[in-house]
Structure 1
Amino acid sequence: MGMLKEFKDFALRGNVVDMAVGVVIGAAFGKIVSSLVSDIIMPPIGFVLGGIDFSNLFIPLSKIPVSTLAEAKEAGVPVIAYGSFINNVIDFLIVAFAIFLCIKQINHFFPKAPAKEPRKCPYCKEVIADDATRCPHCTAELK
């Protein structure tokens, strides 16, 4: 019974619940970004580049002739799906940029306190502990 109580205390601790909520929201955000890239961003780019469907760009690694990625997968033909890779790279860049913007805003609302200036020996100018009574570098007696 003790282990069950410990687990309950652990699982209901604030930071664990916050992390779980963050993972769920992150997964949902990832799906939204993937849809944004594959359904909204890449089609116009493909159109401008001559009607290219990036999700269907691949290099077959077999002598079996295939014309689409779906056909290659159905036939079991190994492929290098570089179009999917391009989509995933763009997904990553958008997610990374969105996280950057969020962190930047969070840092704007919660600015860090300026770092405390380290105490220095008045004689040799080396950094010393705040509670030091003698400099460990030049052995001068400190006030």
Structure 2
Amino acid sequence: MSFFSDFKKFLMKGDIVALATAVVIGAAFKTIVDSVVKDVITPIIGVITGGTDFTQKFIALDGATYASLEAANEANAAVITYGNLIQAIINFIIVGLFIFLFLRAYEKTKKKEEAKPAAPKGPSQEELLIEIRDELRKK
């Protein structure tokens, strides 16, 4: 086999296709989560914290005081943007929550499917053949 046919076989494995699908869905899911964080969660946290915008929280390493992160960046100051870390942690928790809720709902539907009573089984092939044989002997 050639390199390309082996590579094609590898790419078309079910696991790889499922992984690629998961990556695409995950990327789309990220935009939803980003919107939830930016448009819903962050404003709520802002109200709770008195209007604090975490993405603007930083520490200038040169010891100077800057009015904003943009001002520090314009001065080429080295800064630690710990607000971005806080935002990333919030994003992580929300993604984890969404995945947890999704998997929990999935498991519930899976359990419902398993709990459905099995269709009544009819006679096996052997039992049917025995019945036919017995009927033929009677005639």
Common fold, TM-score beyond 0.5?
Answer: yes
Larger RCO (CA under 8 A, 6+ residues apart): 2
**Structure 1 SS opposite 2:22:** helix
Q: Partner residue of 1:37? A: 37
Q: Report SS of the residue matched to 2:63.
A: coil
User: 1: distance between equivalents of 2:76 and 2:31?
Assistant: 27
Name 2:88's counterpart in structure 1.
88
The change in CA–CA distance for 1:39 and 1:74 in structure 2 (over 3 A counts) is: farther
Which residue matches 1:119?
A: none
One-letter identity of the residue aligned with 1:57: K
Partner in structure 1 of residue 52 of structure 2? 52
Cα distance in 2 for partners of 1:51, 1:31 equals: 24
Count of aligned pairs: 112
Residue 11 of structure 1 and its aligned partner are, at CA, apart by 0.7
Within-5 A mapping of 1:92-107: 92-107=92-107
- Aligned 8 A contact 1:46 1:53 in 2: yes
- Please name the residue that 1:75 is paired with: 75
For residues 22 and 93 of structure 2, the distance between their equivalents in structure 1, rounded to whole angstroms, comes to 19
Higher helix content, 1 or 2 = 2
Query: In structure 1, what is the equivalent of residue 27 of structure 2?
Result: 27
Structure 1: segments with no counterpart, 5+ residues: 114-143
Counterpart contact for 1:38–1:87, Cα < 8 Å: no
Structure 2 spans left out of the alignment, 5+ residues: 115-139
Q: Does 1:62 align with 2:59?
A: no
Mean CA deviation greater in 5-14 or 27-36: 27-36
Structure whose alpha-carbon radius of gyration is higher = 2
TM-score by length of 1: 0.67
Matched, 1:10 2:10: yes
The two structures have a TM-score, normalised by structure 2, of 0.69
Question: CA offsets per residue over residues 23-77 of structure 1, 9 Å max, x none?
Answer: 1211221232123212322123213422211211111111344221222233321
Q: Which amino acid aligns with 1:28?
A: A
